[in-house]
Amino acid sequence: MGCGSSSDCGGCPSQSSGCGGGAPQQPQDFTAPLHELSSVKHVIGVVSGKGGVGKSSVTSLMAITMARKGYKVGILDADITGPSIPKIFGIKEKAYADEIGMYPVKSKGGIDVMSVNLLLENDTDPVLWRGPILGNVVKQFYSDVIWKDIDYLFVDMPPGTGDVAITVYQSLKLDGIIIVTSPQDLVSMIVEKAVKMADLMQVPIIGVVENYSYFHCPDNGKDYQIFGESHIEEILQKYGLLLLNRLPIDPTIANLCDKGDIEAIEKTNLENVSLPE
């Protein structure tokens, strides 16, 4: 990379590779290609600053929403060390590969899914790989998997702003990201990191979903803010972001995820979210 200064190149590690003596250079393009048999119109990342806020559930609900609208949908589970998409959709079948490429597994509702858990012999085997290998797996899920006629490919991103998240931002041609958050104070601070990361990576933020926003008591009809008061409005205002929706704490979501039957959900509460056409 060029350093912008031509006065003294001594000791610079880029000297031998020839940095151009301070001449401005184009930023390197790390984008991975899609498989030649793939066709993907839009790639949407679903991110959270922190684990456990419901990122995989929101990815699944968003995918179901778009599939119900008649689009062809895929989910790339980039959360390699904590993959939960196959479990949420109750997919037991393993993915198949041949000399041409890898094939995603279809959910009951016809959503194409690729996840490391569809490749591991045993679902409970831990993935003990270091950052660069994890990043390569994500790239392979993008480049070596045949994503056929997909309108929306949702990427369940690894939580946080670490190595694999950077690889996803750099390698996948993301059209935009959805940020998932919860009302806790700590989480809202971490959301700001996710917002800044997207900014640095020059990926547009489609909007924010606040999960675990409230609990609607069926006995008295009142809403309770179990995780405390929301700070989402301040963050939305500060960064000019759109609130896609607030999702309640809903035992139905937890039960359906546990049963691997999320596609049986009646309403996703994300029906009004509009994605790039």
Ligand X SMILES: Nc1ncnc2c1ncn2[C@@H]1O[C@H](COP(=O)(O)OP(=O)(O)OP(=O)(O)O)[C@@H](O)[C@H]1O
- Candidate segments 54-62, 125-133, 191-199, 220-228, binder of ligand X by CB under 6 A: 54-62
The yes or no reply on residue 253 touching ligand X (CB under 6 A) is: yes
- Candidate segments 50-58, 121-129, 191-199, 223-231, binder of ligand X by CB under 6 A: 50-58
Q: Which of 268, 273, 259, 257 shows the shortest CA–CA distance to 56?
A: 257
Least distance between ligand X and beta carbon 255 (Å): 8
What are the two backbone dihedrals, phi and then psi, of residue 269, each rounded to the nearest 5 degrees?
65, 15
Least distance between ligand X and beta carbon 35 (Å): 26
Least distance between ligand X and beta carbon 56 (Å): 3
What are the two backbone dihedrals, phi and then psi, of residue 205, each rounded to the nearest 5 degrees?
-95, 120
Q: Which of positions 83-112 make contact with ligand X (CB under 6 A)?
A: 84
Q: Under 8 Å CB-to-CB from 52, ≥6 apart: which residues? A: 159
Please identify which residue in 4, 20, 33, 52 interacts with ligand X, judged by CB under 6 A.
Answer: 52
Q: Which of positions 57-86 make contact with ligand X (CB under 6 A)?
A: 57, 79, 82, 84
Q: By the 8 A CB rule, do 177 and 156 touch?
A: no
Q: DSSP characters for 70-102?
A: T--EEEEE---SS--HHHHTT--SPPEE-SS-E
Show the binding pattern over residues 199-228: x = contacts ligand X (CB under 6 A), - = does not.
------------xx----------------
Known binding residue 131? Answer is no
Please identify which residue in 43, 172, 257, 265 interacts with ligand X, judged by CB under 6 A.
Answer: 257
Query: Which helix (DSSP H) or strand (DSSP E) does residue 156 occupy?
Result: strand 150-156
Q: Under 8 Å CB-to-CB from 236, ≥6 apart: which residues? A: 208, 242, 243
The yes or no reply on residue 247 touching ligand X (CB under 6 A) is: yes
Residue position matching structure tokens 């000019």: 240
Q: Under 8 Å CB-to-CB from 26, ≥6 apart: which residues? A: none
Q: By the 8 A CB rule, do 155 and 174 touch?
A: yes
Least distance between ligand X and beta carbon 250 (Å): 4
Known binding residue 22? Answer is no
Q: What's the rounded Cα separation, in Å, for the pair 137 and 144? A: 10
The yes or no reply on residue 250 touching ligand X (CB under 6 A) is: yes
Q: Which is nearer to ligand X, 84 or 171 (CB)?
A: 84
Q: Which is nearer to ligand X, 12 or 254 (CB)?
A: 254
Q: Footprint of ligand X on this chain (CB under 6 A)?
A: 48, 51-57, 79, 82, 84, 159, 211-212, 247, 249-250, 253-254, 257
